[in-house]
Amino acid sequence: DPSKFKAGYKNGVSPLHPGEHLHIRPLSIGDYEKGYLDLLKQLTAVGDVSKEDFIGRFSQMKSCEDTYFIVVIEDLKSGQIIGSATLVKEQKFIHHVSSRGRVEDVIVSDLYRGQQLGKILLDVLVALSQDLGCYKVSLECKDKNVEFYTQFGFQKTEGQNFMQLRF
């Protein structure tokens, strides 16, 4: 529902029109050949992921109905994936058997920064999490990105901490 998207775009760009030659859509298996994993390497360690590994993980995610929503932006001119963000819908007993949305792995290729593509990806995932009936949506990010996420309504929560145990 396009009316759900917040305003505030410049230069005629919007989630429905991300830019010349740019196409926004769900991740597909063929994106292995379109540099999807190289894009993720701009976010964190990815390692050696074979096509077989990729297909296996893709299929596992797909088999979890209504759970993984990976949105990508493809540059149709180069045939490369240049932006991506994931929404995970986590099912709960709490809040009257509701669900929580988690925004993960948000990345826009360094060559495409400053074109409002991060905003597009976030607007799409926030609208999607609402449509899916999540009672909240959350994310973890670096200090330098806090301001970016504030524009979508994300807020740091007083008295709540992000904790992790790494292996």
Q: Which residues, 6+ apart, have CB-to-CB distance to 120 below 8 Å?
A: 13, 14, 15, 18, 24, 73, 83
Q: Which is nearer to ligand 16G, 44 or 50 (CB)?
A: 44
Q: How far is the CB of 137 from ligand 16G (least distance, A)?
A: 11
* Cβ-closest position to ligand 16G: 44
Q: Any alpha helices (H) in 23-165, and if so which ranges?
A: 36-40, 51-63, 94-97, 117-131, 146-150
Question: Which residues in the chain belong to E strands, given as ranges?
Answer: 22-26, 68-75, 80-91, 99-108, 134-138
| Residue positions counted in the chain | 167
Residue among 140, 150, 151, 156 that touches ligand 16G (CB under 6 A): 140
Question: In 10 A of CB 50, how many CB atoms?
Answer: 9
Task: Say whether residue 106 binds ligand 16G (CB under 6 A).
Answer: yes
Task: Say whether residue 70 binds ligand 16G (CB under 6 A).
Answer: no
Q: What is the distance between the alpha carbons of residues 35 and 39, in angstroms, rounded to a whole number? A: 6
From 27-35, 67-75, 101-109, 129-137, span contacting ligand 16G (CB under 6 A): 101-109
| Contacting ligand 16G within 3-62 (CB under 6 A) | 43-44
Q: How far is the CB of 27 from ligand 16G (least distance, A)?
A: 15
Task: Say whether residue 146 binds ligand 16G (CB under 6 A).
Answer: no
Binding residues for ligand 16G, rule CB under 6 A, total 9
The token duo for 88 is 């995970």
Task: Say whether residue 139 binds ligand 16G (CB under 6 A).
Answer: yes
From 10-18, 66-74, 75-83, 99-107, span contacting ligand 16G (CB under 6 A): 99-107
Q: What angle do CA 148, 153, 156 make, to 5 degrees?
A: 75
What residues make contact with ligand 16G under the rule CB under 6 A? 43-44, 103-106, 139-141
